[in-house]
Amino acid sequence: MTARLSRHTVVIILVIVALAAVPAAQTPAPAPASVRTWLGAEPRIEAHLKSATVTSVEDIGTGVTRPRRAHLFPAEPADSFAWKVLPPGFRGGYWESYESEIAAYELDKLLGMHLVPPAVERTFSGETGAAIMWLDGIKSVKQTGGKVPTGEIWGKALRRMLMFDDLICNRDRNAGNILIGQPGEIVLIDHSRAFIDDKGLPQKLERVDAELWDRMTALTRDDLARTLGAWIDQKAIDAIIVRRDKMVAAVEKLVKKKGRALVVIP
């Protein structure tokens, strides 16, 4: 004679059967690794760029400022750097300076942008220049077809790039010095022609990133002198303030015309 199952036992069995029919949860795919491998390790990387042994230097054959690549030992946390020896001065009608590369990195840190790789001053083999962390496995816009990426995912990074170029008066932004990482991620290199005392704005602003905008509008001469005074002169610092104030005027005009929500983007 078959024993009758209690109502409680039947319920348990039904639950077990139902759970068995549910597919196993999918393990989420890991997020793509950021190409900005210096984030969170800046002090260590800066010290390494300054002091690691240079084992060899090679021409890389690109760039009007003719940077070279210096290989390092040990190879961690950075195996090489772009080596720019450009004493401040005019060349071919352009003001160029290796110190501007370092100023760009220091200002990037001050503004919390995280778009410019570490750059430090270094002297070896009788030359003084900027040692800029070399990033492997990343291509420029020029190398990927020459078209700056578009779409909502890229908006924040591109707005920040335009704002930064206006602030530092970088008129040399081109497809060769915008590096493309994961979707929405860019890295900015080659700032040796920036930080001049030109008070004009190289880019036309249509929208600004809200977080970066707050930091830019809060900048003072004292902030800039403390952060950049070792790399650029007082005239260049004053020009940053003038350009920033022109940016403020331009954005305020846009806000009056279009409304803040369409101009200052969170």
- 27 falls within a domain: no
Residue 80 placed within a domain: yes
Confidence tier at 181 by pLDDT (50, 70, 90): very high
Listed range (6-15, 32-41, 72-81, 157-166) with the worst mean pLDDT: 6-15
pLDDT of residue 26: 58
Cα dihedral 166, 171, 176, 179 in deg (nearest 10): -10
Cα 85 from Cα 91, distance rounded (Å): 13
* 12 within domain boundaries: no
Query: Residue 89 corresponds to which tokens in the numbers above?
Result: 């001065």
Q: What is the CATH number of the domain that holds 111?
A: 1.10.510
Q: Are strands 80-84 and 186-188 parallel, antiparallel or unpaired?
A: unpaired
pLDDT digits (tens, 9 = 90+) for 27-68: 555 657 899 999 999 999 999 999 999 999 999 877 666 789
Predicted model pTM = 0.87
Residue partners of 215: CB distance under 8 A and separation at least 6: 110, 111, 112
Would you state the pLDDT for residue 64?
A: 64
Closest CA to 135 of 187, 93, 100: 187
DSSP state of 175: T
Six token digits for residue 156: 């924040």
Strand order in the sheet with 186-188: 139-140, 178-180, 186-188
Q: Is residue 6 part of a domain?
A: no
Let me know if residue 31 belongs to a domain: no
Residue 206 located in a structural domain: yes
Domain assignment present for residue 171? The answer is: yes
Considering only 15-24, 121-130, 135-144, 191-200, which range has the smallest mean pLDDT? 15-24
How does the average pLDDT of the chain come out, rounded?
Answer: 90
Length of the chain: 266
pLDDT at 95 over 80: yes
Name which of 6-10, 183-187, 197-201 the model is least confident about. Answer: 6-10
Domains: count for the chain: 1
Q: What is the DSSP letter of 233?
A: -
Q: Which residue segment(s) compose the domain that 140 sits in?
A: 42-265
Residue at 261 is within a domain: yes
Q: Which residue spans within the chain are E strands per DSSP?
A: 53-59, 68-73, 80-84, 89-91, 94-96, 119-124, 127-133, 139-140, 178-180, 186-188, 208-209, 264-265
